[in-house]
Amino acid sequence: MHKIILSLLLVGCASTAAARPDIEPLARTCNGCHGVGGVSVSGPMPSIGGLPKEYLKRIMKQWKYGERNAVTMDRIVKGFSDDQLDALAEYFSKQPWVPVPQPASEAVLAKGKAAVEENCRDCHGLTGNDPDVEVPKINGQWSKYMELELLKYRSGVFKMPHRKMKQAAHDMKPEEVSATSRYFGAQGK
């Protein structure tokens, strides 16, 4: 009797192990838009390699379960099981974060920095490279992508569960949206 239970347990373990997806081929389906290793080579597509695992897991589930609006990603994540999404989050979080610093004028950088020091630094750090697992890295993220995201968060109809970030975006002066995006986009570290 014990033997039977033991072998059933073993079969159970073996099948969960086998169900764990081979993640490389799945991750390659993201390359076309997000770049090899999640390093995007063109804005407005965001880089995703090296973002915190908890953040990646959270937002992909939010898209899948209709808690967060998206242009494209909500449809893409519906094709994956929760286990596959967790494995994808783990895979991309282990890739290095590669900032792509984009040049901006001194005047824009100064305006962006002043707004960041006042309203964004507590959570994102001065350059956007905060180590908090909740907060995505945005130093050297594509500024065009960030600007579009901030505009969405500011709109009344965009569904997004993170109230504090939504509020921070809402509280910005209109001209700060572009300046802070360009400031963070210009940071290498």
Site residues (CB under 6 A) for ligand HEC?
29-30, 32-34, 46, 48, 56, 59, 70-73, 76, 88, 119-120, 122-124, 134-136, 138, 141, 146, 149-150, 162, 164-165, 168, 172, 180
Task: Give the pair of three-digit tokens for residue 23.
Answer: 């993640």
Nearest approach, Cβ of residue 104 and ligand HEC (Å): 14
Decide if 182 contacts 146 (C-beta within 8 A): no
CB within 8 Å of 42: residues ≥ 6 apart: 142
Exposure string of 107-143, with b = 16+ CB inside 10 Å and e = fewer, is ebbebbbebbeebbeeebbebbbbeeeebbbbbbbbb
State which residue, 95 or 119, has the beta carbon closest to ligand HEC. Answer: 119
The answer to whether 124 and 135 are in contact (CB under 8 A) is: yes
Give CA–CA dist 46/145, Å, rounded. Answer: 6
Give 165's contacts (C-beta < 8 A, 6+ positions apart). Answer: 123, 153
- Residues 140, 46 contacting (CB under 8 angstroms): no
- Nearest approach in angstroms of CB 85 to ligand HEC is 8
Instruction: Report whether 92 contacts 48 (CB < 8 A).
Output: yes
